[in-house]
Amino acid sequence: MPVKRATETQKKEKKAIKTSKQTTPQPKLEDFLAEIQKRAYEIYIERTRNGLPGDDMSDWLQAEQEIKSKYNIK
């Protein structure tokens, strides 16, 4: 019996993951890029205020990673 319960639990988890991915609204490309641009600027401001090393490309890549994670995009 425990094996059957584990299988049922796994099915429920897979279904929950599918459902959560489907309900995440995907932004329009223009909005997505604007959100990355805004976040990259925020990262730039934080970085320069704190005197940290970096450049515009690293700010953009960090922002892109954060926004992709927000919308579950790989």
Provide the residue ranges of all domains of the chain, joining segments of one domain with +: 25-74
Please report where in the chains the tokens 């099915």 appear, as a residue.
11
Using CA of residue 68, residue 37, residue 53, residue 47, what is the dihedral sign?
Answer: negative
Q: What is the pLDDT of residues 33-72, one digit of tens each?
A: 999 999 999 999 999 999 999 999 999 999 999 999 999 9
Please report where in the chains the tokens 């604007």 appear, as a residue.
34
pTM for this prediction: 0.67
